[in-house]
Amino acid sequence: MWGRIVLLVVCAAAALLVSAAGLFGLQRQLVFAQLIAFRGMLAVGFVALAIIGALLFWMLRGRARKARPVIAGLAAIALLAAGANVVVQTGRGLGSDAMPEPAAVEPADPATSIRVLSWNTYDTVTPAEIARVALAQNSSVITLPETSRETAEAVGRAMDAAGRPMQVFTAERGDPTETPPTSLLVSESLGQYDVSSDFGDTGTLPSVVARPADGSGPVIVAAHPMPPLPSIMSSWRSDLDWVLSLCDEPDLILGGDLNATLDHLGPLGGCSDALAEAGSAGVGTWPTSLPPLLAAPIDHVLTTGDWRTEAAEVLVTEDSAGSDHRPIVATMSIRPR
């Protein structure tokens, strides 16, 4: 009897640690970090275990019936864990099915509003496709992890031809074929921007930090931390700490593939997450081979200071564009003082 109780306690503890890793400071630890990135998949897995337990409960006969209470307990634990993950994901928001038509997206007033498009293009999305989405969303800031200088400049030319001139910045570190560059486009309507090294950088994959030349306007960042692969967990943690350090900036807009969900980021300090504010932070952006509710929501737009989110969505319409990431768009406006 005691053995069965211990088994149930151990399984319940394991389910709790996996589902609520952040409560125990495990959200950036190996295994836990990888599992909680996919809460939708976790929920499906726990439901499957519960179904298997229910089938075993029904099938057991004879002396094996003595195991029924344990099987029922394990199935109940799995079902509760599935429910917990569903609650967390739905609580962060699953977005809206009613996406506005491109023609309905009004241009942002650069004096009071900024519209951000963030898209890890895997450098496989064509410049024409990137420009098409940026123009349709009237984007004034475009953050493009894993996007070459050539692609970014071609996007800039397409935007300029459409009457939306952009400043183009690209950060490269070593061989671009081995270390993907990160690019940033900023509308000329926001004023002159210059790349700055005053804020540091991610460790291996490059990020771009640009600040207004005249000191008027937000610091704009295109960020790309390392992924949480088992061999580079410390680099991943260090990159996330760098991202969070930028939340101390009083006037900042950051977009990019952060290779982290809200679980991994933890408390954001002075930052706000646009998708979370808009009720869309439960929609997965990577990989596009998984449905949005099962994919990992690792792409973000973060803001500090007086910026508030008016709208933010994961664009689930671009899965065939060539990237393994879905783009996200967010509209920020200045809070009235």
**DSSP result, 175-225:** -TTTS--EEEEEEGGG--EEE--TT---SSS--EEEEETTS-S-EEEEE-P
Residue 219 sits in the same domain as residue 303: yes
- The parts of the chain modelled with pLDDT lower than 70 are 1, 63-64, 96-111, 336-337
Q: Are residues 71 and 159 in the same domain?
A: no
Do 309 and 332 contact (CB within 8 A), yes or no?
yes
Query: Is residue 155 situated within a structural domain?
Result: yes
pLDDT at site 60: 81
Asked if 69 and 87 sit in the same domain, the reply is yes
pTM: 0.94
- Do residue 42 and residue 129 come from a single domain? no
pLDDT of residue 107: 56
Q: Whole domain around residue 24: which residue ranges?
A: 2-92
Domain count, the chain: 2
Residues whose CB falls within 8 Å of the CB of residue 217, separated by 6 or more in sequence, listed in order: 190, 191, 193, 251
Give tens-digit pLDDT for 140-178. 999 999 999 999 999 999 999 999 999 999 999 989 889
Does residue 324 sit in the same domain as residue 300? yes
Q: Residue 296 in contact with residue 325, Cβ under 8 Å?
A: no
Q: Which of 71, 92, 113 is the last residue of a domain?
A: 92
Q: Which of 92, 119, 152 is the C-terminal boundary of a domain?
A: 92
- pLDDT value for 62: 72
236 and 292 share one domain: yes
User: Has residue 97 been placed in a domain?
Assistant: no
Tell me: the pLDDT tens digits for 77-94?
999 999 999 999 999 999
Asked if residue 16 and residue 67 are part of one domain, the reply reads yes
What's the count of helices (H) and strands (E) in the chain, helices before strands? 9, 12
Average pLDDT of the chain, as a whole number: 93
98 contacts: CB under 8 Å, gap ≥ 6: none
